Amino acid sequence: SCADHGTKINVIRNNTHKYSVSAMCNVLHIPKSSYYYQANLCEKEAHEREEVELSNEIQRIFKGSRCNYGTRKLKVELKKQNWIVSRRRIGRIMKQLSLVSNYTVAQY
- pLDDT of the residue at 33: 93
Mean pLDDT of the chain: 91
Can you say how many angstroms the Cα of residue 108 is from the centroid of all Cα atoms in its chain? 45
> Looking at the predicted structure, is the pLDDT value of residue 94 above 60?
yes
Average pLDDT over residues 54-62: 96
How far apart are alpha carbons 25 and 11 in whole angstroms?
A: 10
Cβ-based burial of 73 (10 A; exposed 0-12, middle 13-18, buried ≥19)? middle
Reference 69, options 58, 85, 54, 84; nearest CA is 58
Q: pLDDT band at 108, cuts 50/70/90?
A: confident
For the ranges 26-40, 47-61, 73-87, which has the lowest average pLDDT?
26-40
The answer to whether the pTM exceeds 0.75 is: no
> Looking at the predicted structure, is the pLDDT value of residue 2 above 80?
no
Are 96 and 55 contacting, i.e. CB atoms less than 8 angstroms apart? yes
Residue predicted with more confidence, 91 or 5: 91
How far apart are alpha carbons 83 and 98 in whole angstroms?
A: 21
